[in-house]
Amino acid sequence: MKITKLETILVKPRWLFLKMHTDEGLVGLGEPILEGRAKTCAQAVAEMEEYLIGKDPRRVAHHWQAVYRHAFYRGGPILTSALSGVEQAMWDIAGKALGVPVYQLLGGPTRDRIRLYKGGASPDTIQDWIAKGFTAFKVGVQGGRNARIVENMRFIDNAANAFAALREAAGPDIDLAIDFHGAISPQTAKLLIKALEPYQPMFVEEPVQCQNVDVMAEIARGTHLPIATGERIFTKWGFREILEKGAASILQPDLCHAGGILETRLIAGMGEAYYAGVAPHNPLGPISLAACIQLDASIPNFVMQEHTTLGEGYLKKPFVFKDGYVELPTAPGLGVELDEEALADKIDHDWKNPRAYLEEDGSVVDW
């Protein structure tokens, strides 16, 4: 079997889909996307064609090594995101060629279904989402405005009171995580975590910028709450320092950024050795979710899965959510097929990252 073509498609709202074509008619799907850099990623995929066309797509690990290591300047969000989507597509073909789901090629399933969590909820709406089956949620910091380097008492109180209201509305049986998004300074993060502790967040995500590993480790040692990070960390080499320094006990690799399915499986194995859980990051599309579910099924230290869509309007058979979970797919490869007719009005986009500025002086702030 040989790869004949790599076809990228811009898909609303902000995604990039990949179709990897072969001379035997099998087509592999992937999402080689970095948010806000879709066209750059598409070009990065096109630059991989020279190596990949004519190669057997089933040599997944070998091609990953060749593309990653022959670049000389290794890693970075663009290269690893493009490579992640290509790697997903190769696994999809490998599974289809053998007639089995990808998780069977990774040792078989370690669970029967996959827990999903809901991003965003309010005290007024959370009971409605619970009634729909969700048992876990993640929210952002609600301090009333963008955070400054040094924050005042009102900001901390606003954020803590907002989370307290959500906890009261949800009750003690519901898991509530909070995401600082790396936008809270080290000067403020400790104060805010201390204020949140009485309401027991399931985890605190990116309490500071993920590159600030030593400070994140210090924060982790200073609280009993689990610290989570990983959406902006790439490959096993990026996660090594996080684990070695005890900076996080919940790893959140993104299968569209961190290197793909096998690379994230290796990251999960590293995490298992440090007794860390894995809650893959995924604010992207249905192919990304399909890849995540294959990974989630195969690892023993899975916690829960982020998602934005179950694939309605994109997949022929969207995932079915029930009682907090989706069942494992049984179709070969990634287990999904695109609905080309439904996709027809969703082609092309020019999505850009939000640009946030501090209201008081117009200076740039993290979003």
Catalytic residue set:
181, 281
First to last CA, the chain: 45
Which helix (DSSP H) or strand (DSSP E) does residue 11 occupy?
strand 3-11
Eight-class DSSP state of 275: T
What's the length of the chain?
367
Taking phi over 0 as left and psi of -120 to 50 as alpha, with beta for the rest, 347 belongs to beta
- Rounded Cα distance between 134 and 137, Å, is 8
Helices 60-69 and 261-273 cross at an angle (nearest 10°) of: 90
| DSSP H or E stretch at residue 140 | strand 136-140
Please give the structure tokens belonging to residue 343: 């996709």
CA 163, 168, 171, 177: dihedral to nearest 10 degrees? 0
Residue 299: name the closest of 247, 238, 248, 255 by CA. Answer: 255
Q: What is the largest CA-CA distance in the chain?
A: 64
Helix, strand, coil percent values for the chain (each to nearest 5):
40, 15, 45
